[in-house]
Amino acid sequence: MKKFDKDKVLLAIAGPALALVSAFLLTMIVLAASGVDPIDPLRVMIDQASYEDVQVLILNQAGIYYLAALAVAIGFRMNLFNIGVDGQYRLAAMISAVVGASVSLPGPLHVALIVLVAMVTGAFWSGIAGVLKAKRGVSEVVSTIMLNAIATALIAWLILPKNLGVQPPGSNDLTTGDIPESGWFPALTIGDGLEVYGFTFVAFALGVVYWFVLNRTRFGFDLRATGASESAAQASGVDAKKMIMTSMLISGAVAGLAGMPLLLGESHTYNLSFPVGIGFTGITIALLGRNSPIGIFFAALLIAFIDKASAGLDTAGYAKEIGTIMQGLIVIAVVVSYELVRRYGIRRQQQKVGQELAAGHALKTDNKEVAA
Amino acid sequence: MRRITRIATVGIASAALALSATACGGKKSSDSTASSSESSSSSKSAAIAYDIGGRGDQSFNDAAFAGLEKAQKDLKIKGAEAEPSEGESEADKVQRLTELARKGNNPVIGVGFAYAPAIKKVAAKFPNTTFGLIDDTSVQDKNIANLVFNEEQGSYLAGVAAAKASKSGKVGFIGGVEVPLIKKFEAGFTQGVKDTNPNAEVLSAYLTQPPDFSGFAKPDLGKATAQGQLAKGADVIYAAAGLAGSGAIEATATAGKWAIGVDSDQYNQAGLSKYKDKILTSVTKDVQDSVYNLIKSVEDGKPQTGEIRYGLDKDGVGLADSNPAYKQMTDVTAAVEKAKADIIAKKITVKTAP
């Protein structure tokens, strides 16, 4: 039994390891082919990551990515492909920023209200795709992509000064007004003025909740069972439609949280330069981390590292797009290597079962003979 | 047992990470050079932090770079540049400016309004460094110079020229992204057209809505939109859309109609030489000189501060006249000159929002 577990762990690690090694090798080949030193940019990036301020940036970004990837992973476990995390996250950040700026409450309550509004908004937006899927059988892939575009248009309209937005005098930006200080999430200050957003820790704590709910509750079991086989789960008494709705809502609620580290810790307002694309990076990370809370954690750190460390390539005379190439190659390598490892695992399992059966059979007949 | 170990792993992993961030001994990405440059001189290097798109956008960022280049040549200073990544947050901008400032660059210039919140934070930490902020006056401090332009005035002149040059009485406006800054262009242009020919019709279109800023970057969008406006009968099209504007110019010139460029004099742009005969004029915005002037003021020991406004009066904005065909249209140039004089004399006030 123990040996079997070890195999499983090895196989689980083999996938990402193979993906990363081949992605880095491919990056080097691309660099060499374009006439750039293949090693030095990587050295510069690792060098960058040894600096304290870059580390804080990486950690903060990893927290944001972690939430987005968790949202995606919840869908994945249910066999739902929530591509709409990006739209859910942006709409949630915008609406919660508006609410946060318009009320004044004592500290913890204010923060809690903003977070709650963000979760409800995110859940509402993903819930639309959930209803469409459960009631009408509309593919959530199509509906969430379209909802992303609708969210963009909706935000662009809502943020106009005649609606919910504010254009600060003299500025060419549009914001949702500033959230008063009671609505800021306390940060962990390191050294001189370097701040790790407090919400980053909430994000990682949520990973533990995710693990517990999926692996240690009946709901989690139902969710995984429905993800593995909808018809089988239904036959054993799980309401698949209800599961689709619930997991879509939870996925959206978590997606809504992805904007909170920035909103509560840094910008305190939603403006035109609020980052886009977090949700898509989340898909990469959930894939790379194989939907496991620990895997996602390391994947989020890795992608955040590539993001932030590659920014320093500019000053070293290299194109920082090397980081983008690396991320793209990782995605391809992940898909290919996971499939390879999966096939290898199945083959190995079959061989093993075959061997064990043969051995067991021999043993059994031996026993029989002895008994007889 | 298994449960405990897995929970423990999560806990240890996050704790280790938090520790690694705290315990790593306060080394910062700018430490290595900070001491040397601070001791050698207070202001021998200027830095630019670009807006999305970076250098090579043939527009806004390139104009800022041209200013830095000029300063490097004329003032014998060093230049530093940094580009943003897509999807970055305010924290990255703060980091970028902090690094540039700590390395001893002075001034540090943020190109574009998106830098406003970051400059507000960083300028307070570096009181002896001058920060330039282009296109924004919402953030002010002793050591912040807000470099702003009266884009609406230049666009008003373009409107006058368009109305005069149009035969169909229909002119088009194409904005890259529907943000307040580009609406200023639209407002000025529309007012210029209407003041010149009250019966003229202005067809307005924006390529994308924020936060989708691809409307400044995708020439195909500009092309398709311009073709739509041409089909509706427009015969002069003004595109304020950065790189996407080149698509609009292509479509308009191919149809044999007049195009009006933006930001720099697009008649002289190498990439558009094929269509230059049909580029009537361009609304220029002298980002280059504003950057140069700021760097020079710091070098001279009298750093600019507060709002530095570039309007028609200082030729900070204007209308290019490098196309010989434009210069031959004397009725157009006369009307433009008159409008320019009226704006400078404050007889005409141009609206900044449509």
Could you please report the per-residue DSSP string of B89-132? -HHHHHHHHHHHHHTT-SSEEE-SGGGHHHHHHHHHH-TTS-EE
Residue from the list B29, B86, B98 with its beta carbon closest to the beta carbon of A48: B29
The gap from C-alpha B69 to its chain's centroid, in whole angstroms, comes to 17
Q: Which SS3 state, helix, strand or coil, does residue B264 take?
A: coil
CA atoms of A293 and A170, how far apart (whole Å): 45
Residue A366 has pLDDT above 60, yes or no: no
Q: Residue A359, class by beta-carbon neighbours within 10 Å (0-12 exposed, 13-18 middle, 19+ buried)?
A: exposed
Q: What is the mean pLDDT of chain A?
A: 90
CA atoms of A97 and A84, how far apart (whole Å): 20
> What percent of chain A has pLDDT above 70?
95
Tell me which chain B residues have a C-beta less than 8 angstroms from the C-beta of A173: 113-114, 116, 136, 138, 180
Chain B residue with minimum CA distance to A44? B29
Identify which of B135, B165, B168, B139 has the alpha carbon closest to the alpha carbon of residue B152: B135
Report the pLDDT averaged over residues B5-24.
45
Note if the bond before B211 is cis, omega within 30 degrees. yes
- The whole-number pLDDT of residue B31 equals 52
Residue A278 has pLDDT above 90, yes or no: yes
Lowest mean pLDDT segment, chosen from A307-311, B31-35, B341-345? B31-35
- Residue B29 pLDDT grade (very low, low, confident, very high; cuts 50, 70, 90): low
Residue B272 has pLDDT above 80, yes or no: yes
Amino acid identity of residue A301, one-letter, is: L
Record the tokens describing residue B5, joined without a space. 């170990």
> What percent of chain A has pLDDT above 90?
60
Residue B21 has pLDDT above 90, yes or no: no
Q: What is the mean pLDDT of chain B?
A: 85
- The whole-number pLDDT of residue B84 equals 86
Q: What backbone torsions phi and psi does residue A215 show, to the nearest 5 degrees?
A: -105, -15
Tell me which chain A residues have a C-beta less than 8 angstroms from the C-beta of B135: 172
Report the pLDDT averaged over residues A24-48.
90
CA atoms of A335 and A337, how far apart (whole Å): 6
CA angle A46, A49, A54 (to 5 degrees): 155
- The whole-number pLDDT of residue A361 equals 66
- The whole-number pLDDT of residue A367 equals 52
- Residue B269 pLDDT grade (very low, low, confident, very high; cuts 50, 70, 90): confident
CA atoms of B71 and B290, how far apart (whole Å): 11
Give me the interface pTM, i.e. the ipTM: 0.82
Subunit contact B210:A48, Cβ cutoff 8 A? no
Helix (H) / strand (E) element for A350: namely helix A321-371
Note whether A322 contacts B: Cβ–Cβ < 8 A.
Answer: no
Residues 281-320, chain A: which have Cβ within 8 Å of B? 281, 293-294, 297-298, 301, 307-308, 310-312, 314-315, 320
Q: Which SS3 state, helix, strand or coil, does residue B238 take?
A: strand
**B153 min Cα distance to partner chain A (Å):** 16
- The whole-number pLDDT of residue B118 equals 93
The DSSP letter of residue B242 is G
- The whole-number pLDDT of residue A217 equals 94
- Residue B117 pLDDT grade (very low, low, confident, very high; cuts 50, 70, 90): very high
- The whole-number pLDDT of residue A4 equals 55
Q: Which SS3 state, helix, strand or coil, does residue A151 take?
A: helix
Residue A288 has pLDDT above 60, yes or no: yes
- The whole-number pLDDT of residue A363 equals 58
Report the pLDDT averaged over residues B43-58.
79
Residue A262 has pLDDT above 90, yes or no: yes
Helix (H) / strand (E) element for B37: namely helix B31-40
- Residue A7 pLDDT grade (very low, low, confident, very high; cuts 50, 70, 90): confident
pLDDT tens digits for range A179-232: 999 999 999 988 777 889 999 999 999 999 999 999 999 999 999 999 888 889
DSSP code per residue over B126-192: -TTS-EEEET--SS--TTEEEEEE-HHHHHHHHHHHHHHH-SSSEEEEEEEE-SHHHHHHHHHHHHH
- The whole-number pLDDT of residue A170 equals 84
CA atoms of B294 and B108, how far apart (whole Å): 10
- Residue A320 pLDDT grade (very low, low, confident, very high; cuts 50, 70, 90): confident
Residue A62 has pLDDT above 90, yes or no: yes
- The whole-number pLDDT of residue B27 equals 59
Lowest mean pLDDT segment, chosen from A141-150, A247-256, B214-223? B214-223
- The whole-number pLDDT of residue B37 equals 37
Subunit contact A273:B114, Cβ cutoff 8 A? yes
Report the pLDDT averaged over residues B233-260.
92
Residue from the list A171, A275, A294 with its beta carbon closest to the beta carbon of B136: A171
Q: What backbone torsions phi and psi does residue B76 show, to the nearest 5 degrees?
A: 55, 45
Residue from the list B91, B137, B209 with its beta carbon closest to the beta carbon of A170: B137
Residue from the list B80, B92, B211 with its beta carbon closest to the beta carbon of A272: B211
Record the tokens describing residue B59, joined without a space. 């527009």
Tokens 């059979």 found at? A361
- The whole-number pLDDT of residue B4 equals 44
Report the pLDDT averaged over residues B73-81.
90
Residue A97 has pLDDT above 50, yes or no: yes
- The whole-number pLDDT of residue A356 equals 86
Identify which of A286, A289, A261 has the alpha carbon closest to the alpha carbon of residue A275: A261
Residue from the list A52, A159, A171 with its beta carbon closest to the beta carbon of B26: A52
Contact A19, A337 (CB under 8 A): yes
Report the pLDDT averaged over residues A238-255.
94
- The whole-number pLDDT of residue B296 equals 93
pLDDT tens digits for range A338-364: 889 889 988 988 998 888 888 876 655
Helix (H) / strand (E) element for A196: namely strand A194-196
Note whether A1 contacts B: Cβ–Cβ < 8 A.
Answer: no
- Residue B54 pLDDT grade (very low, low, confident, very high; cuts 50, 70, 90): confident
Residue B28 has pLDDT above 80, yes or no: no
Amino acid identity of residue A336, one-letter, is: V
- The whole-number pLDDT of residue A12 equals 80
Residue B38 has pLDDT above 50, yes or no: no
Tell me which chain B residues have a C-beta less than 8 angstroms from the C-beta of A321: none
Identify which of A261, A273, A101 has the alpha carbon closest to the alpha carbon of residue A178: A101
Residue B315 has pLDDT above 90, yes or no: no
Query: What domains can you pick out in chain B, each with its CATH number?
Result: 34-149+286-316 (3.40.50.2300), 151-285+323-344 (3.40.50.2300)
